[in-house]
A and B are shown apart, each in its own frame.
Chain A
Amino acid sequence: MGTADQMQGRDQPTPLDALVRDYAAKVARGSAHSDEMLLPDGTLRPVWADFMAHLAGLTPDQIATRMGRGNQYLHDAGVFYRQYDAESREREWPLSHIPVLLSEAEWAEISQGLIERAELLDFVLRDFYGENTLVNSGQLPPTLLTKNPAWLRPMIGALEPGEAGLNSVSFEVSRGPDGRWWVISDLIEAPSTAGFAIENRIATSRVFPNFFSRAKVLRLAGYFRQFQQTLLALKSRVEGEMVLLSPGPMNQNYAEHAFLARYLGMLLVEGEDLAIQDGQAMVRTVDGPRPVSLIWNRVPSLMTDPLELAPESMLGTPGLLQAVRDGAVHTVNMIGAGVLETRALMAFLPSIARKRLGRGLALPNIATWWCGQEAQRAHVLQNAGAMMVGDAFSTRPLMADPATVALERETGDPATARLVEMLETEGHNFVGQEAVTLSSTPVFEDGAFRPRPVCIRISLGRTDDGWAVMPGGYARVSASDDAKALAMQQGGKVADVWVLSEAEVAPQTLIATEDTLRERGSSDQMLPSRAADNLFWLGRYVERAEHHMRLFRAYFARIADGAGHDDPLHAYLRTRLLPDTPPEAKAIADHFTQPLELSLQTAARVTDRFSPDGMMALRTLVHDARDLDRRLVALDDIPGKVSTLLRQITGFAGLVHENMYRSHGWRFLSLGLSLERAANLAGLLAACLDDDAPEGALDAALEIGDSIGAHRTRFLISATGASVADLLGLDTANPRAIRYHITRAKDHIAKLPQKGHGHILSDVAARILTIETRLAVSAPENLTSEELATIRYEIWGVCDALNASHLG
């Protein structure tokens, strides 16, 4: 069966040999380097043969469609990273859909080298904070520590004898032009790898579902299961919770932190969630403070304790270092481990390895020379053409550092002359590194395969049986032929890495089980106070936005009908409900666009507790509201546009009540919605039931209170003060009534942790009950403007009490 489209090239599969020939020609055009898919002679590496045969059977359009499935997964799962540009926006996860394939044998070789390196680095770390034998025996120049801001003096002596300093590390490796693998960088402090690897894997397996399910790809879940055992063992040394300490949502890798915390059953916290009480690390939760026994630290070491380290840090916890030194709390990697990322250390690791292991490193790192030694400096200057030079103490990989200088001596270039002079006078501040050439791997762009520079990031975790290596999952692929464009911030992409086994892959590690670890752990019922506060405010902001949208629509519907801004009702509504607001559409719209923006920011702080669907709905809503904001000119259109937004925001509230698991987190979100709505209705009624209210205020109240239909059903008369007070104030069945939401809030508060003692109600429970009672015993005609103003004030009192008891 044919269609007309089949005549076009994008619908024709490319034969395998043509595909390989075409790709080989592109590889050959670049400078001399290895390629992951092709052998030096231009033929396919055996490990790629099946996969490429599979791809060759697909048309470019089919491949593109499959890639779309991967993107859809990432989008739905809410996998984003943060672009550090002026707006610091979230961006789609930049997946390159073609995985990098490696044979199990080659992988085993890389793994052995990395395990050796992890163990060596742990030895070096323990020495740096312990005996200092490396300095004392002359293997390492002392200023590499004493002038190094990453060597944290308060941690000296903190490790117990035999205690590991490292439990989790990542490395970046690359295949050199000679085919051998090299370590490019040691990622110790907070490498983004493991969590994103899982997302890469799930997305890529959806791109190639049939091939993946029969290919013998080593699965990732086993690694996490092993590492979780390590975490549990570390935790068990002290009584308490496991937390993952994140710098928060402004960090590029926050999505990974949220993912790992969920996946491993840890509580996701920020520095301000933790406090040191009586020498013990505690996490502030809605249940009160709970002890913490293990911290997986994703905050840079220097920022972990403003009392003893960087004083300006807002990310840390005062007193944490003392608690760590006292052994009252443990960290996965010791605080201060980041010193291992010091670039100049790479110049000394080979000789440290020879001394300790009796042989060189199985997997060498990039050749590095410290310019503080005369012979090394001379070597750098003599080989200037093949060198990059940079700050010896930097912890960024040299090739990824914009401050790196290629040291090619051009005659008469003053900058180069200055650099040479600096190497002579301040050599100990500089290192030279061999300029690396990365291997290339295929990406699929514009209907064809193209080679791009690639390096592989590999995660290792310590287990009872030694170091476990996560079998693949994460490669960084450059955006262009330039290896410097690897970073996502510069448009680089990320790909899955498949390690293909020769044996059958064990069935228990199929993709379905990648999710199973999520179920463990107690993190769902343990809610940090900060997260509860954010959820509470999320509810309040969304409700505040909705209320003001209704107000805005009612106001402008009348304007569209020919009323003026200065008509009595309009002037009255502005004075009473929109203080200090000029009679302009933009200014009045700000009353809902601003809470909407705030709601999105607030939601972003609790992505681990909030459903991806909810996030997506909120993003769309904010996006559409921004759109409206820009086009606020055609007055006639405004009510219609706002009605569309209102449908969306009502949908969001529906999502909260229909789709969210009934956790404490949900309860705070729902509480925020109810208390805000009750307060806004009280304010609205106080204005519209006032003796001074102009003609039409009662109808406006019904409209803003979304109860015109309900009023018609219940009263069959035109609105009176009593009928409006009854329907929007006292009705227990109207979800647009104060009473309805006060009762709902009371029920939520009754189910919160830290209830009162015995028969004595907590402050917050007593306050909400007082309000409910006031409403319950009130007749409609007694619900005066003054009474409503008091009720509104008392609702804020509930919020304050809640803040003091659960959210602070």
Chain B
Amino acid sequence: MLYNIRLNITHRYDQPAAQGRHLIRVLPRNLPGRQRLAMHLLTVTPELHSRRETFDFFENTVVTCVHSEPHDEMSIDLSCHVEVSDPAPWSDLSPQVHALRADWRKQIDLGPDSPLHFLGGTQRLTPDAAIAEFARAWFDPERTAAENVLRIGQALHDEMAFDATATEVDTDPAEAFRMRGGVCQDFSHIMIIALQSLGIPAGYVSGYLRTLPPVGQEKLEGVDAMHAWVRAWCGIAQGWIEYDPTNATLIGSDHIVVGYGRDYSDLAPVRGQLRSAGGQVNSQAVDVAVLD
């Protein structure tokens, strides 16, 4: 599948911002055998003082943008072509969860893909009794780890309502779970905490969703902005699997990966600091069209 992705993020400031420095994480990753960034153009207006591309610890592409002239609006435009392969047929090689725990305890690799980074311990991913209880209720020790990931993801999807007005970007996952509502970011954080409470390493994935579904299928939730979902580590043989709790689906060729991290803070599309006094209004628009 070849996609044409267009993204616009605009920040409008009440008071002109004297200077600005932003880290931008919006470029799709190259994932050998699965996803290839064929071409891309990332433009930022007004004109940048300097720009630099680096990789973060999790090997996501980070574009650092510096503005030095006063401006009252910043606009980020991405246009890119991404080739996504169809996923291999689903097969479950994962052990039961108690064996999975023993699997990651044996790990000593601290590289960016190591499950050891995804056991919790960030500010957003604090253990929560209600989420852990929910996870326990759906957990079946007789089944494999991957089956449990799908069960809990499906249960969470059924339990929660997609509601773009219920939460803010910094809403605590425990609070979103209490309200049983939120957006993809909340669904994902809650599922990560639920899986971690069972000893299943889990992380946050940011990316894009195909805007129009294939003929005869329903439109997915969350196509109007950047999307988020979950990946879970299911043992040495299975490795990482990705699941979208907002749409209760395993990840196939409708999802395009931008970044892997522990939670939203690792992957915020724009993280910035300004010298400015007033507030700001942000908007985001995404279109993911199939090219062939």
Interface residue ranges, A against B (CB under 8 Å): 132, 135-136, 138, 142-143, 145-149, 153-154, 156, 275-278, 306-308, 310-311, 318-319, 322, 393, 808
The answer on a CB contact under 8 Å between A275 and B116 is no
The answer on a CB contact under 8 Å between B123 and A135 is no
The answer on a CB contact under 8 Å between B121 and A146 is yes
The answer on a CB contact under 8 Å between B121 and A276 is no
Chain B stretch 110-157: residues in CB contact (< 8 A) with chain A: 110, 114, 116-117, 119-123
Contacts of B122 in A (CB 8 A): 149
The answer on a CB contact under 8 Å between A311 and B271 is yes
Q: Whole-angstrom distance between the alpha carbons of A276 and B68 in the complex?
A: 11
The yes or no answer to B29 lying at the interface (CB within 8 A) is no
Task: Please count how many residues in chain B sit with their CB below 8 Å of the partner chain's CB atoms.
Answer: 27
Contacts of B14 in A (CB 8 A): none
The yes or no answer to B107 lying at the interface (CB within 8 A) is yes
Q: Which single member of A138, A275, A307, A322 contacts B108 (CB below 8 Å)?
A: A138
Q: Which 9 A-B pairs have the closest CB atoms?
A: A147-B121, A318-B273, A153-B57, A146-B116, A318-B21, A142-B116, A146-B117, A132-B110, A136-B108
Q: Which single member of B64, B116, B272 contacts A322 (CB below 8 Å)?
A: B64
Q: Separation in Å of the A80 CB from the closest CB of chain B?
A: 32
The answer on a CB contact under 8 Å between A146 and B114 is yes
The answer on a CB contact under 8 Å between B23 and A308 is yes
The answer on a CB contact under 8 Å between A135 and B110 is yes
Contacts of A135 in B (CB 8 A): 108, 110
Q: Whole-angstrom distance between the alpha carbons of A689 and B21 in the complex?
A: 52
The answer on a CB contact under 8 Å between B273 and A307 is yes
Q: Whole-angstrom distance between the alpha carbons of A473 and B109 in the complex?
A: 44
The answer on a CB contact under 8 Å between B121 and A307 is no
Contacts of A278 in B (CB 8 A): 50
List, sorted by A's number, 13 A–B pairs whose CB atoms are closer than 8 Å: A136-B109, A138-B108, A142-B107, A142-B110, A142-B116, A147-B120, A276-B21, A278-B50, A307-B21, A307-B273, A311-B271, A318-B21, A808-B18
Residue from A132, A138, A143, A310 with most neighbouring chain B CB atoms (10 Å): A143
Interface residue ranges, B against A (CB under 8 Å): 18-19, 21, 23, 50, 54, 56-57, 64, 66, 68, 107-110, 114, 116-117, 119-123, 265, 271-273
Contacts of B68 in A (CB 8 A): 277
Known contacts: A132-B110, A306-B273, A307-B21. The answer to whether A148 contacts B121 by CB under 8 A is yes
The answer on a CB contact under 8 Å between B116 and A149 is no
The answer on a CB contact under 8 Å between B110 and A146 is yes
Contacts of B50 in A (CB 8 A): 278
Known contacts: A142-B108, A143-B116, A322-B64. The answer to whether A275 contacts B19 by CB under 8 A is yes
Q: Whole-angstrom distance between the alpha carbons of A200 and B151 in the complex?
A: 64
Contacts of A142 in B (CB 8 A): 107-108, 110, 114, 116
Q: Separation in Å of the A790 CB from the closest CB of chain B?
A: 27
Contacts of A138 in B (CB 8 A): 108
Q: Whole-angstrom distance between the alpha carbons of A135 and B111 in the complex?
A: 12
Known contacts: A132-B110, A276-B21, A307-B23. The answer to whether A156 contacts B57 by CB under 8 A is yes
Q: Separation in Å of the A352 CB from the closest CB of chain B?
A: 16
Q: Whole-angstrom distance between the alpha carbons of A59 and B28 in the complex?
A: 80
Q: Separation in Å of the A578 CB from the closest CB of chain B?
A: 28
Q: Whole-angstrom distance between the alpha carbons of A232 and B59 in the complex?
A: 36
Contacts of A145 in B (CB 8 A): 110
Q: Which single member of B18, B116, B272 contacts A307 (CB below 8 Å)?
A: B272
Query: Closest residue of chain B to A156, judged by CB?
Result: B57
Q: Separation in Å of the B154 CB from the closest CB of chain A?
A: 27
Q: Separation in Å of the B253 CB from the closest CB of chain A?
A: 31
Q: Separation in Å of the A138 CB from the closest CB of chain B?
A: 7
